Chain A
Amino acid sequence: ETGVTQSPTHLIKTRGQQVTLRCSSQSGHNTVSWYQQALGQGPQFIFQYYREEENGRGNFPPRFSGLQFPNYSSELNVNALELDDSALYLCASSPGLAGAADTQYFGPGTRLTVL
């Protein structure tokens, strides 16, 4: 149990729709990162927020956007959904800036299916 929760667990959308995924980090964790994991692949970094500011972005288009709130919750928004957006979306939190020394704690993920 990592203390990181995500909602919803599963979601089905159609092409062109918009979706919002939510994550609740551990209290005191200032960094949240979002990853996309396609079937049979490792997770791919989407972006990271540190103290409510975007602090790094992977190779994803602008229709992927996010927000981080003062209460350690965050959102991933995806506009104009495409079939290839079907994946498991994972959020991960850490106390400081992710990567250098901190373990990242992952949530259980949201399975998004785009039809």
Chain B
Amino acid sequence: KQEVTQIPAALSVPEGENLVLNCSFTDSAIYNLQWFRQDPGKGLTSLLLIQSSQREQTSGRLNASLDKSSGRSTLYIAASQPGDSATYLCAVPNSGNTPLVFGKGTRLSVIA
């Protein structure tokens, strides 16, 4: 059974800092890994999807890496801004054509 863990649970940084969020998963036989952003009380916004054959994906100030063999992914946020404050969730399919197993998320606060 796939389990996803995210560290840290919460993070507070000053504006402008670069930061890394961590995600680990127990079953490395994944098709892809997805990072989401969730604002308080809101739905999920997909940030990046990394296919199992890829090592990383970039979108603007965000860079996500994937190491399947070690069961780890990181989300790197460059030059953080107060608008980046949100909860960041990573998720993987349980197996094959199945929906997503989520971590509990990292709650990020960027202080101006």
Are A42 and B43 interface neighbours, CB within 8 A? no
Query: Which residues of A from 41 to 96 have beta carbons under 8 Å from B?
Result: 41-45, 48, 56, 58, 88, 90, 92
Give 1 or 0 for each of B36-76: 1 = CB within 8 Å of chain A CB.
10000111111001010000000000000000000000000
**Complex CA distance for A6 and B42, rounded to whole angstroms:** 11
A101 at the A/B interface (Cβ < 8 Å)?
yes
Are B89 and A42 interface neighbours, CB within 8 A? yes
Are A99 and B93 interface neighbours, CB within 8 A? yes
The dominant DSSP class at the A interface is loop
Size range of the interface on B? 20 to 34
| Known pairs A42-B105, A43-B102; A98 contacts B97 (CB<8 A) | yes
Are A109 and B43 interface neighbours, CB within 8 A? yes
Are A108 and B96 interface neighbours, CB within 8 A? no
| Known pairs A90-B43, A108-B42, A111-B41; A100 contacts B97 (CB<8 A) | yes
The dominant DSSP class at the B interface is strand
- Which residues of chain B are within 8 angstroms of A6 by Cβ–Cβ distance? 43
- Interface size counted on chain A using CB atoms at 8 A: 30
Contacting B4 at CB < 8 Å: which of A42, A58, A92, A108? A42
Are B101 and A100 interface neighbours, CB within 8 A? no
Contacting B46 at CB < 8 Å: which of A58, A103, A107? A103
A97 at the A/B interface (Cβ < 8 Å)?
yes
**Complex CA distance for A33 and B34, rounded to whole angstroms:** 16
List 19 A-B residue pairs with CB atoms under 8 Å apart, sorted by A's residue number: A2-B43, A4-B43, A33-B100, A35-B99, A45-B100, A45-B101, A56-B98, A97-B97, A98-B98, A99-B94, A99-B98, A100-B32, A101-B31, A101-B51, A103-B34, A103-B49, A107-B43, A109-B42, A109-B43
